[in-house]
Each structure stands twice: as C-alpha cells, then as structure tokens.
Structure 1
Amino acid sequence: MPWQAFVYGGLAAMTAEALTFPIDMSKTRLQIQGQVADARLSALKYRGMIHTLVTVGRQEGVMSLFTGAKFALLRQGTYGTIRLGIYYSIKDKWEQKNVGVKMPLPHLVLLGGVAGVIGSYITTPTDVMRVRMQACHHTKSPPLIRSFVNIFKTEGMRGVYRGAIPNAQRAAVVNGVQIPTYDVTKRNLIAAGFQDNKKTHFGSSLFAGFLGSCFSQPIDVAKTRMMNQKLLSDPNVKIYKGVLDTLLNTARHEGVLALWKGFVPTFCRLGPWNVLFFMSLEQFRLLDNFLNDRNVSVF
C-alpha cells in the first residue's frame, strides 16, 4: 500500500480538525445536556451552537473552547491516517487492476465503512478522552498519558474503550457515506463538463458533509452519551446499556428529534471540515504529483 495515501490522509484530517475544533466542542455540550437518565446533565444550559460558544467563552474563558484539542489532533492523526490510507490505497489498486473502470458505488461504500470501523476502533481511547475533556468545565486538560492512566485506573479497559461500538458504527456510516459521496460527486461533475478544480472540490466536499451529518447524527449522539458516562458506585449499573438502549431511551424521554441534537453544529463543523479536509487532500495530491513529476496520483 502506498505510504502517501496514509500520510496525506492524516495531515489533511489534522488540518481540518484544528480549524473546526470549537464547533465540535459546542456539538458535544449540546448532545450531552437534557438527559433524563443522568441527573448531572439534566439541565438545558445551551440553546444552540452560537449560544454554546458564547456562553462557554464567557463563563470558562476563550481557551476552554479548545479544551481537549490535543486529544482530537492525536485522534485525527491516527484515525485519519488509517481510514484514508486503507480506503484510497485499496481503491487505487482495484482501479489499477481494472484499467479504465471506476470502482462501483456499492464497493466504495463498503470499503469506506470497513476502513472507518478499523480506524475508529483502534483510536477509540483518544476519542473518549476528547469527549470527557470537552464535557468538563475547565480550561486546562491533563497530559495525554496521565488522562489515559486516570481512566484506566478508575474504569479499566472498559472505560478506555467506552463507546467503542457506537464509535465504530458512526465511523462506518460517516466513512461509508462521506468519502464515496465526495468521490462519486466529483467524478460525475467532471463527467458533466465541470473542471477538476477547487470549485468542484468545494461543492463535492460540502455535499458529502451534509449527507454524512444526516446519516450519522443519531449514532453520534449515542456515542457521545455513552463515552461521557462514568461507572457508578455499582459497576453493574449503567445509565445506557448499549447503542440501541441509548437511542430508545433518548427518543422515549426526550423525543425522536433529540437523536439529532447538535445537528446544526455537526453540519457547521462537518461541512467546513469536509471542505478543508478534501481540499487539503487535493493540494497534497498536487504536491505529490509535482514532487514526483507525474500526472496521476497514487490516490
């Protein structure tokens, strides 16, 4: 598998993550509030993305908007590297073997989903620490290793990998929708007469972000709530017992629309995130072509 697909995927993911992180923090705060099952988070403190950002900035300081950023960057540096590397390297090899034929959409969806599951499961501990940091009302996050050790000591490996299943399910949905949507949309626009340029990349990536947000939001809500819950005094008692239980519990007590809590900040983040990510990836591809003096990139 070509190393460029892995390295450039990770770099593009970290670039997009760094520039959109405060929006992600507001999404997390919105998703965990209003829980009937968790008295600690029953209050509806935030009314929307802008209100969340302003309130957190005023009450906790502007730097609190970036609490947990190092965990997010670490996650994207590993998760982005793995999922994009697997996806584009396998896609490239398939299309090299089947000269003149583009990989069909069902294959792309399956490949994107599998790559997302593998990447997300491996990097779940970093995502758990990111969610915990974003949910807490403080501005200074502890060192990476200490955070991992603290969770491991109090909750064991189950705590470190809390929410791994919904995390993998969300990754399967997002990657199975997001990356193939970008590739197919871009391919169809070029076939319709559009140029392979920044405008086409922008439109394709924004559409991919919208579809990814629509399909993944309920699982993302479940993932966030499961990751944020901590072991109670009785280790056999859990607020949420699994993905389906979280979804049903949330819909029963808060209404079906609660499954799309934080959709606006999700799309406001995932839309620009996709634009930054895919356009960065395209620039890395052009750089790769220039440095290697070739017309076709390995991905």
Structure 2
Amino acid sequence: MSASTNNGKKPQQIPKSIKFLFGGTAGMAATLFVQPLDLVKNRMQLSGEGGTKRVHKTSFHALRSIIANEGVLAVYTGLSAGLLRQATYTTTRLGIYTSLFEYATKEGKNPNFFMKAVIGCTAGGIGAFVGTPAEISLIRMTADGRLPEAERRGYKSVFNAIYRISNEEGVATLWRGCWPTVARAMVVNAAQLASYSQAKEGLIKTGYFSEGLFLHFVASMISGLVTTFFSMPVDIAKTRVQNMKVIDGKPEYKGAVDVISKVIRKEGIFSLWKGFTPYYARLGPHTVLTFIFLEQMNKYYKRLVLKDMSEGGGGL
C-alpha cells in the first residue's frame, strides 16, 4: 500500500499529459514489431482490386511475393508513417480513453461495458481524425510496391508523402477517407478498449488470474479477436478509399458504401474479411504489446514518481 494511502489521502493520479505521452509511446513501440504484418494486411486488402493487379491467395503468399520482388527490407516499407500514425492517433485515443475512463469511475467502481464502449467510440473517433494524414500516407506507402514502376508514387518518408499529397492533390486529400477511418476507429476502439477492460475484469473474477503480464496478454488476445471480426469490413473500405487514384477527375470509388457493395458484387461477401489472418496477426500482437507497454509504463511511473506501491498500473 502506498504512503499516500497510509496517510488517508487519495492516491495521486497520473497527469493527463503523461497518459497521452505513454499512449503514443506504447503504440509506437508496438509498431516496430508489427509493421511487416500491417504491410501484408494492406496488400491483401488491395489484392484483386481492379482485376489486373497481382492477387495474393494467402498471407504467406503475399509475404513471399513482397520479399521476392522487393527485397527483405521492403517488409518495413512505410515504417515512418506507421510511427507517426501511432504518435498522433494512439496518443490521442488512449489519452482520451484513460482520462474519460477515470472520470466515469465513481467511488472506485469501473464504468459498465456500455459506457466503456461509448468512451472507446469517442476516443477512437477523435484520434482517427487527428491521425488520418499519417494513415493515408501509410496506406499509400505500403501499397506502392504492388504497382508497376511507372505508376508508383515513390514517397521517401511520411513527411515527404504529406508534403507531396498536399502540394500535388490539395491539403483536403490528407483527410480523404476520413469518415470511414473515423467509423473504423470507433468500431475498433469500442470493441478493443471495452473488450480489453471487460476481459480483464472477467478473467480476474475466475480466480485463475491476477494483475500481471499474463493477464494483460490473455485479455489483449481476446480483445484483438473481437476487434478483428467487427472492424474488418470497415477497414477494407477505408484502405481502398485512401489508396484510390482520381483518373480524369473521376475517383475509383464514391465512398465506403460503394467500396463494400463493389467488393461483395465482384469478389464475394467473404472478401470483406480478406486478410483476416494478417489483420489479426497484426492487431492481436499490436494490442498485446501496446497494452503491456502502457500498463508497465503506468506502473513504473506510479512507483517511481508517485511513490504508489499498490498493484496494477494500467487504468484500463
């Protein structure tokens, strides 16, 4: 028990600015491990588009094709965009979520599942809007290698991508596909953050789990599976809208609904879950690593800075 508790005082809380910082840092650290999976997921979701592009039958086929045609280092294409996306999107969403979660916690009682989902939607939507420029840069950079040499955009970094998109296509293009991105983020965060919190509580109640890394790992994998199933149709719409080109003033898709209807009509309804394996393989570990890094940073901040030696540190 902490000294502050022994003195009858309410334990100090982690400052909101630190929560935002830890959220982004945790997401960036996780991205260093899962960027290749993000690349494969994007290539799979674009596979078959237009009927003339290279089709990837499985995740392993996609990965093997990328390495064979573009080199081993190509699996980290778009890393700078992935890191900036986490620095903007994840910093915002986890910072807002933990702050609202803390506000909604009354007399030591956590908010119910519905309230967690509402908080998750809010945090995800705001975070997605902030992170859309990095998101669209990431989609384009990871998709570039699948195009013929003459059609590639050839962005050198995320900052080069943002500059060129703004200069060549207009600043508004940085928020192309913003609404499907926001919709996806709301679905992802409602499912991911709420299911993670709920899974932790449920696992602890079984009596077989206690606060620690193993609990965080199992709760994260459950959360990742739930999130993957519900968010993939929205994600494939977002990916294709953000990657599309405008030819003679006419965009390939009118919007997210147009993408989904065309995918179902031309590729079959199950194509909405195309790339499920790399998506979950990416989202699962990313969820695990993000929450583990976040929980550990919170725990050690409480111990080293706030001198709070009580168990638990995540606040999720």
Percent identity reads 34
Contact 1:128 1:160 in 2 (8 A): yes
Map of 1:21-32 to 2, 5 A cutoff? Answer: 21-32=35-46
The one-letter amino acid paired with 1:77 is A
Aligned to 2:221: 206
Paired with 1:72 and 1:100, the residues of 2 have a C-alpha distance of 36
Contact 2:24 2:87 in 1 (8 A): yes
Is 1:255–2:268 an aligned residue pair? Answer: yes
Q: Match for 2:72: what amino acid?
A: V
Q: Distance in 1 between matches of 2:47 and 2:41?
A: 10
The reply on whether 1:189 has 2:203 as its aligned counterpart is yes
Segments of structure 1 that go 5 or more residues without pairing to the other structure are none
1:101 counterpart (95, 99, 109)? 109
Unaligned runs of 5+ in 2: 1-14, 146-151
Deviations along 1:92-118, one digit per CA (max 9) or x if unpaired, are 1221xx103210111110110111010
1:81 pairs, out of 85, 88, 91, with 91
The answer to whether 1:163 aligns with 2:177 is yes
Aligned residue for 1:146?
Answer: 160
Residue deviations 1:97-145 (CA, integer Å, cap 9, x gap)? x103210111110110111010111110111111101001289741333
TM-score by length of 2: 0.88
Q: Hey, what does 2:77 align to over in structure 1?
A: 67
Q: Is 1:268 the counterpart of 2:281 in the alignment? A: yes
How far apart, CA to CA, are the structure 1 residues paired with 2:167 and 2:191? 37
Residue 224 (structure 2) pairs with residue 224 (structure 1): no
Letter in 2 for 1:212: T
CA shift for structure 1 position 149: 2.1
| Structure number with larger C-alpha Rg | 2
Q: Deviations over 1:186-239 (max 9, x none)?
A: 012112212112211111000000000000000100000000001111x2x221
Shift of 1:253: 0.9
Q: Which residue in 1 is equivalent to 2:297?
A: 284
Aligned residue for 1:123, secondary structure, equals helix
SS in 2 for 1:136: helix
- RMSD of aligned C-alpha atoms? 1.7
- TM-superposed CA distance for 1:44, in Å, is 4.2
Alpha-carbon distance in 2 for matches of 1:144, 1:199: 35
Match of 2:101 among 86, 91, 97: 91
The one-letter amino acid paired with 1:146 is N
Question: Which residue matches 1:43?
Answer: 53
Using the TM superposition, give the Cα deviation of residue 71 of structure 1 relative to its aligned residue in structure 2, in angstroms.
0.6
